[in-house]
């Protein structure tokens, strides 16, 4: 009996072989699509469904690609010829909330924004806040180690997960981590799973570390600058002053103009860049006033709002970046991080690359943590060679400045060729060996993160 027949016998109608489902699973939001068409999509609804799928895949040595909402930006959840797509999107339960312990237990398919809507009546929230929070799953956040707008103050996904339930390639179920704040028993396998992009196992549950809802005011500071370098220098000055706003987002001139056009707002001044900063908590007003003074000292034209709703409207400009880029053409949305003090130098590098390759590279940044998102625009379904050559320059510049290839999108398919350049050969080989311990047959997301011919 072949793999598809075994899946259908075991899982019945959960096995989807419709052309629409198979085609959808080939691509994510990166614009990249896998070659060929997957074997089937399994819409798992329980842990047992995931285990059954993995047992069949292991027995038949069939590759498996785990998939959530398909909102990734590195091609890590794209499935190709002959692969099983294991979707956890229907596993959406909030199993347990313990506000007294500041933890919740969830299934992987729950959307980030839906989770916080359900947690709000308990007076708690989960801090990771990717720009795609309305459409991305918690399981996907964990798989990629997602970041977002609040990382500088409230941390990334790795800071907000106490444990995960993991199904191994052979179908065994492990419970990693703990429910206590402290716990150092053995190796920290939970942190190893976070950001592993589906190469070590299938996350079927997570114990999350929550926070109390932040009391006090929310203030929003917006400032326009004559250029992006001035804006980057101002954001670095805010950090250097010891201030820690909840959000500090930077938009260069091209990205700001594109979003204003999309939202039918008045066009910004030619060449103007913008910082949008939010402070929260009991000291929000004092912090906002202090930040405003720093920005004014760095050529910023500053406005301060104490109105929460107005603040969200201002942030909506930043959150509209992706659709604004999509309106301009096909976009390769990139993701590098550098030390915060190196942000002005990184923007200088982007300007150099634009001139050298004759490209416009609209860029936004989570300025509070040094994570930049340069956008390469082009025509057609696949990035042409000169775009990848420019991206190569960008990645190497970030590494030279003490940064990294990816702050939150992951490696997936699109960046695997540069992985060894950052890690070095010894660490790269060690990571491959660790993956082989979890998945000795090599059936979990093959070809992702590590190049298949290495």
pLDDT band at 83 (very low <50, low <70, confident <90, very high): very high
Region 241-267 average pLDDT: 95
pLDDT confidence of residue 334: 94
Q: Which residue(s) pair with 165 in the sheet?
A: 175, 205
pLDDT, greater one: 454 or 140: 140
In tens, the pLDDT along 394-453 reads 999 999 999 999 999 999 999 999 999 999 999 999 999 999 999 999 999 999 999 875
Residue 261 CB coordination number (10 Å): 13
Does 247 have pLDDT greater than 80? yes
pLDDT confidence of residue 361: 96
Instruction: Sheet with 84-87: list strands edge to edge.
Output: 15-16, 40-43, 84-87, 64-67
pLDDT band at 382 (very low <50, low <70, confident <90, very high): confident
Helices 228-240 & 343-357, crossing angle to 10 degrees?
A: 160
Does 454 have pLDDT greater than 60? no
pLDDT confidence of residue 152: 86
8 Å CB contact between 145 and 157: yes
Region 28-44 average pLDDT: 94
In tens, the pLDDT along 342-367 reads 999 999 999 999 999 999 999 999 99
pLDDT band at 328 (very low <50, low <70, confident <90, very high): confident
Percentage above 70 pLDDT, the chain: 100
pLDDT confidence of residue 147: 86
In tens, the pLDDT along 126-161 reads 999 887 888 999 999 999 999 888 998 999 999 999
**C-alpha–C-alpha distance, residues 104 and 12, integer Å:** 32
**C-alpha–C-alpha distance, residues 341 and 344, integer Å:** 7
75-89 burial: b if 16+ Cβ within 10 Å, else e:
bbbbbbeebbbbbbb
Average pLDDT over the chain, rounded to whole? 95
Closest CA to 166 of 196, 145, 146: 196
pLDDT confidence of residue 453: 58
Region 178-199 average pLDDT: 96
pLDDT, greater one: 51 or 217: 51
DSSP, collapsed to helix, strand or coil, labels residue 309 as: helix
């Amino acid at each position: 009996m072949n793999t598809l027949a075994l899946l259908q016998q075991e899982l019945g109608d959960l096995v989807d072989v419709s052309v629409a489902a198979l085609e959808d699973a080939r691509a994510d939001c990166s614009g990249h699509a896998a070659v060929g068409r997957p074997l089937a999509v399994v819409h798992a609804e329980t842990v047992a469904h995931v285990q059954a799928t993995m047992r069949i895949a292991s027995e038949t040595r069939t590759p498996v690609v785990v998939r959530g909402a398909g909102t990734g930006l590195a091609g890590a959840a794209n499935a190709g010829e002959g692969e099983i797509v294991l979707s956890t999107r229907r596993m959406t339960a909030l199993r347990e909330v313990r506000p007294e312990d500041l933890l919740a237990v969830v299934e992987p398919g729950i959307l980030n924004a839906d989770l916080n809507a359900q947690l709000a009546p308990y007076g708690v929230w989960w801090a990771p806040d990717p720009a795609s929070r309305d459409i991305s799953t918690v399981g996907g956040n964990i798989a990629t180690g997602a970041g977002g707008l609040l990382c500088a103050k409230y941390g990334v996904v790795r800071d907000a997960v106490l444990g995960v339930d993991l199904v191994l390639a052979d179908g065994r179920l492990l419970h990693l981590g703990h429910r206590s704040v402290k716990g150092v028993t053995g190796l920290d396998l939970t942190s190893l799973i976070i950001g592993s992009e589906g190469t070590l196992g299938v996350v079927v549950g997570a114990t999350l570390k929550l926070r109390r809802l932040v009391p006090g005011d929310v203030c929003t500071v917006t400032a326009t600058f004559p250029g992006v370098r001035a804006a980057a220098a101002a954001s670095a000055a805010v950090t250097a002053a010891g201030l820690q706003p909840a959000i500090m987002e930077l938009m260069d001139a091209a990205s700001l103009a594109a979003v204003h056009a999309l939202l039918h707002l008045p066009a910004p001044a030619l060449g103007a860049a913008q910082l949008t900063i939010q402070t929260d908590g009991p000291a929000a007003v004092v912090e906002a006033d202090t930040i405003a003074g720093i920005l004014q000292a760095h050529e910023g034209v500053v406005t301060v709002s104490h109105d929460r709703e107005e603040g969200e409207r201002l942030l909506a400009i930043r959150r509209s970046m992706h659709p604004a880029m999509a309106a301009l053409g096909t976009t390769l949305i990139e993701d590098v991080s550098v030390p915060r003090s190196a942000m002005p130098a990184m923007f200088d590098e982007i300007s150099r690359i634009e001139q050298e390759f004759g490209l416009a590279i609209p860029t936004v940044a989570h300025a509070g943590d040094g994570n930049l998102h340069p956008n390469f625009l082009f025509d057609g379904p696949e990035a042409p060679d000169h775009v990848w050559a420019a991206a190569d320059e960008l990645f190497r510049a970030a590494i030279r400045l003490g940064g990294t290839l990816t702050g939150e999108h992951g490696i997936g398919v699109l960046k695997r060729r540069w992985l060894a350049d950052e890690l070095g050969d010894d660490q790269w080989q060690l990571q491959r060996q660790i993956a082989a311990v979890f998945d000795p047959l090599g059936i979990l997301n093959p070809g992702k993160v590590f190049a298949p011919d290495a």
